[in-house]
Structure 1
Amino acid sequence: MKIRTLIVDDEPHAIQIIELYAANVPEIEITGSCANAIKAYQVLQTTPIDLIFLDVKMPGLSGTDLLRSLKTPPMVVLTTAYPEHAMEGFELDVVDYLLKPIPLPRFLRAVDKILFNFKGTKPAPAAESRREGQKQHYLYLRVERQYVKVNTRDILWIESVKDYLKVITPGEVFISKQKISLAEKLLPSGLFLRIHRSFIVPLDKVERMHPNHVVVQGHQLPVGRNYKQSCIRQFLPDTVALDQSC
C-alpha cells in the first residue's frame, strides 16, 4: 500500500529535494505540494493524505499552527532550518524532525520511522534490501513536469551546465533542473566519482587517464585541480605522489 504524501514548504527547492529523495522510496507516493499552510489546509479537507512533510516557518500560518488546527492529523515529519523548533515539534507528536539542508541518509532514517508508524512493524529485511538496491541502480531525474527513472549502470557521465544537469547515456541525454551536488548524493557510493565541479563519471566507464582529463567513450572530460588528489587515490591507489597526473 502506498503512503499518500503531501509536501508543504514555501521554498520550491526544498520541495524538489524531498520529491527527489522520495522517488527512491517505492512506498511513498507524492500526491502534491503546497507553498503555504492555508492551501495545505484546504487540500487536507478534500484529499486523503497519510503523511505530510511540513515546513515549520512559512509566511502567514506556520506549519505548527496548521498541525494544531487539524482534528485528526496524518503522520507529520517537520522540516526546518531552525533547530530551536525541535522541542515544539515533538510536543505535537510528529514522527520525525528533519533539519535543512536534509542529507539523504537522514531522510531514509525518517522513512524507516514512517514505515514503522504506517505498518506497525519495522521494515522487513527484504524490503530494506529492495530499497537499497533501487538506491544503488536508479536515479530519478525531474525532466520538465515528470520524473524519469534512469538506470545508473547506463550513465556515461553527468555534466552541470549553469542551473541544469545533463545526464548522458548511450541512447539519450536527460536534462534536469537540479544541482550536481544533489545528484552526487543520490548516486551509489563507490561507483561514481566527482572529477570536476561540473563533471561526475562512473568509475567503470573511464577508459584512459591523462594529466588534466579522463576519457569516456572517446570524450575528453576535464579533471579539476581540486579533484586531482581524489582521482589519484581512486585510480592509482599505490602511487605515492604524482604531481600533475590523475
Structure 2
Amino acid sequence: MLKFIIVDDEPLAHEVITELCNMIPHIELVHNCYNAMEAMQFLNENKVDFMFLDINMPKLKGLDFLKTLSQPPKTIITTAYKEYALESYELNVVDYLLKPFSFDRLVKAVNKVSESSALITTTKEVAETSTRFFVKGDKKHHQIDLNDLQYIEAYGNYTKLFLKNEMIVSHEKISYYESILNKDNFLRVHKSFLVAIDKIKLIEGNRILINEHRIPIGQTYKSNVNKLYNS
C-alpha cells in the first residue's frame, strides 16, 4: 500500500483527487494539507511514498516548497499552469497533471510512482546486500564495484559516476542513487553531489577533497556533513 498526501489550498481539489484515488486499491490518503507549511510539518514527522502538489499556493509556492525538501517524497504536480512543467521536471517530479485531469491520466501518474517504487525496492535490496550492481549507460550495462565508487555528480537528467579509474555516465538521476545506496556509506553533500564517505580525504570550509577532486558542500546539506566529525 502506497501512502500519499495532498497539498493544495483549494478544498475542491482535495475532493476531486480523493474521489479519484478512492478507486485505486493500492494507495491510501493519509493527510490533507492546505498549504506548504502544513505539509512541511507533516513530512518532518511522517513518511509517505508520494504526494500530489499544487503550484499556485499562498505564502510558499509548490515548487519553492519542493526545493526546501532534502529528501522529498515522489511528487505528482497538479496545477492549472502549464508553464512550470520544465522547472518541475528539473526537480525530479514523477508527473505533471494539468487541471482538470481525467481519471485515466491520474492512474497513469500513480502507476509511474508504483513502477519506480518497485524498481527502487528491488535495486536497493541488491545494493545493500552486495558490493556490486549494474548501471545502464551508453547503451551498455556497466557492473559497478561499490568499493571503487568515489562520488556521483548530477548531469542534467543523467549522472556521472566517478570510479577509481574511470567515469561512467548513467541514465538515472542523482535522486535514484541517493535512494538505493546505503546511507551509512554514501552521503548527499550538495544538490549535485553524492559522495562515498570512506573516500573523503579531508573537509575544508565548504569543500570536500576526494583524491584531487574538490566537491562543494551545499548549505542545505552542511549539517549532515558536520555530523561526520561532530558525532
Unaligned 5+ residue runs, structure 2?
A: 121-231
Q: Distance in 2 between the 1:64 and 1:117 partners?
A: 21
**TM-score, structure 1 normalization:** 0.48
Where do residues 80-91 of structure 1 align in structure 2 (5 Å cutoff)? 80-91=79-90
Q: Distance in 2 between the 1:77 and 1:92 partners?
A: 11
Give the partner amino acid of 2:56. Answer: K
Give the partner amino acid of 1:47. Answer: N
Where do residues 177-196 of structure 1 align in structure 2 (5 Å cutoff)? none
Counterpart check, 1:94 vs 2:93? yes
Q: Deviations over 1:31-82 (max 9, x none)?
A: 0111100110000000111111000110010111111101111100011000
Give the match for residue 19 of structure 1. Answer: 18
Q: Distance in 2 between the 1:21 and 1:120 partners?
A: 25
- Percentage identity across aligned positions? 43
Give the superposed CA RMSD.
1.1
Give the match for residue 63 of structure 1. Answer: 62
Please state how far the C-alpha of 1:108 moved relative to its aligned partner.
1.1
Q: Distance in 2 between the 1:119 and 1:33 partners?
A: 25
2:84 partner SS: helix
Give the match for residue 45 of structure 1. Answer: 44
Q: Deviations over 1:109-164 (max 9, x none)?
A: 1121111111129xxxxxxxxxxxxxxxxxxxxxxxxxxxxxxxxxxxxxxxxxxx
Where do residues 1-246 of structure 1 align in structure 2 (5 Å cutoff)? 2-120=1-119
* Structure with greater Cα Rg: 1
**TM-score, structure 2 normalization:** 0.51
Q: Distance in 2 between the 1:73 and 1:79 partners?
A: 16
Please state how far the C-alpha of 1:27 moved relative to its aligned partner.
1.2
Give the partner amino acid of 2:99. Answer: K
> Size of the alignment, in residue pairs?
120
Unaligned 5+ residue runs, structure 1?
A: 122-246
